[in-house]
Amino acid sequence: MKRTRAIELPAEEIEAQKGWMREFAALTDRPHTYCVVTYGCQMNAHDSETLEGMLAEMGMTPAKSRETADFVVFNTCCVRDNAQRRALGNVVWLKELKKSRPELMVAVCGCMMQQPGMGEQILRQYPFVDLAFGTHNLYRFAQLMLQAVKSRRRVVEVLQDDEGSIPEELPVRRSSPHHAYITIMYGCNNFCSYCIVPYVRGRERSRASARILEEARQLHAEGVKEIMLLGQNVNSYGLDTEGELSFAQLLAQLDQIGIERIRFMTSHPKDLSDELIEVMAASKHICHALHLPVQHGNNRILQSMNRRYTREKYLERVAAIRAKVPDVSLTTDLIVGYPGETEEEFEDTCSLVREVGYDSAFTFIYSPRVGTRAADMPDQILEEVSSRRIQKLIAIQKEITHARLASYVGQIHSVLVDEASKRDAGQMAGKNEYNITVNFPGTPDLIGQIVRVKITSAGESTLRGECVEN
């Protein structure tokens, strides 16, 4: 039975926050320029767009660099240890800058802050940080910033709210006029044994489909060519709310709006339904690209990871999507060095990668996250063993990627032009329908347009081509 719960913040709360933005903008003795530094996934990138939207409403403008900014905010990730260490390392770097520029304000937010005890750690170990907040209270940023500026005291607020709420109608400053993110749901219910996300993003909460569809219509009216639907597991959209559309039904309605390209991520293999595959096959605008993280190729490890599918079930889903969408581009995530992983179990991952033939794969060495079940498991793998294994896996995937890209030579692809090459203004770059970067000779007036490009050659991870008449 689906649950129904009130998840949207009251409109008066958002109006109050907009009031704080206006009050901040009216101050004279405040920061005037900002720099947002983003770590992690597309969800974090979209959160940063919201931060920038609020900062604009607060009367602030982007600085040319973080060295010259009056205010620097780090939107952090904690999914892997190296991302967290990199974020904290950069925060510490600002300590010296602040000695010469005491008026500089520094904030830390995002997933890292939602970890238990992180707020106290920031207060204790990073006294030069002025403001810290988590993922659940990002919408309160203006109010917290105003408090920090007016009081000249440090402000730390991290809400530990498992349910979470969904704020609507917050300002957004998109990084591109022709691309846009649409978050369709927040949180995760899967509790994979290695993953910290459910603890820092909360449980699954789906936005109302009416809100999503209206946002898409507005983006279409503004001339946006491509939208990316975001969620930790988009396939489970609507399951937390009585009477809501399924993800496949939502996609079908979005397809009718007319936005030229629709992408989505991330899809959990256990929830990849036949209905969704049928909608992808029948659609006019859904890109034939699917990110389907498998994580491992061995059933014992998959069970220990709490992935809730087997190798065989995963391969059956791959066969199902390829039967209906033969040209689909598949990408994945892979973990090596999971606790207790034997050499034979690692080889199962290698053989699965060869069998599926992904266009590309994101490969990671297992990173223990405090609070997750896997972090306390015995038989943690030595770093040198994991390093050797990941190098082998990367080499296998590199060979497959080269062959996959070479198979596109001679085809004509639709490319959404993003930018001119920084090294050669006569070379344009953009993504094709399979989310692969294509470089080709062109002029800057093509930026933001979808053009037809004949693929002439393949590099290690990109394609090259030449424009043909539309």
pLDDT digits (tens, 9 = 90+) for 296-325: 999 999 999 999 999 999 999 999 999 999
Mean of pLDDT values over 419-442: 93
Residues of the chain with CATH 3.80.30.20: 179-398
Q: Considering the domain delimited by 179-398, tell me its CATH architecture.
A: Alpha-Beta Horseshoe (3.80)
Question: What are the structure tokens assigned to 58, written together?
Answer: 């607060």
- Give the integer Cα–Cα distance in Å for 99 and 95: 7
Query: Both tokens of residue 359?
Result: 């266009």
Confidence grade of residue 1 (pLDDT, cut at 50, 70, 90): very low
Please report which confidence band the pLDDT of residue 5 belongs to, taking 50, 70 and 90 as the band edges.
low
CA–CA separation, 391 vs 389, rounded Å? 5
CB neighbour list of residue 333: distance below 8 Å, 6 or more residues apart? 291, 293, 294, 295, 361, 362, 363, 364
Give residues with Cβ within 8 angstroms of 31, minimum separation 6. Answer: 60, 69, 70, 71, 103, 105, 149
Considering only CA atoms, which of 44, 414, 433 is closest in space to residue 263? Answer: 433
CA 129 – CA 123 distance, rounded (Å): 8
CATH dotted code for 412-467: 2.40.50
Residue 188 has pLDDT above 60, yes or no: yes
- The pLDDT tens digits of the residues spanning 240-285 come to 888 899 999 999 999 999 999 999 999 999 999 999 999 999 999 9
User: What percent of the chain is modeled with pLDDT above 90?
Assistant: 81
Residue 2: is its pLDDT beyond 80? no
11-157: CATH topology is Rossmann fold (3.40.50)
pTM: 0.94
54-63, 153-162, 384-393: range with lowest mean pLDDT: 153-162
Whether the Cβ atoms of residue 76 and residue 115 lie closer than 8 Å to each other: no
- CATH 2.40.50 positions along the chain are 412-467
CA distance 110 to 219: 26
Can you give the pLDDT at residue 194? 96
- pLDDT at residue number 379: 96
Q: Check whether 162 has a pLDDT greater than 70.
A: no
Sequence ranges of the chain with CATH classification 3.40.50.12160:
11-157
Q: pLDDT at position 4, please?
A: 46
Residues in contact with 203: Cβ distance below 8 Å, sequence separation at least 6, in sequence order: 162, 163, 164, 187, 188, 189, 240
Flag whether pLDDT at 439 surpasses 80. Answer: yes
* Tokens standing for residue 100: 């010469």
Close Cβ partners of 238 (under 8 Å, ≥ 6 residues apart): 206, 209, 244, 245, 246, 247, 249, 250
Is 455 a residue whose pLDDT tops 50? yes
Residue 163: what pLDDT?
Answer: 54
The SS3 of residue 265 is: strand
Q: Which residue from 468, 432, 467, 460 is spatially nearest to 288, judged by alpha carbons?
A: 432
Cα–Cα dist 394/361, whole Å: 8
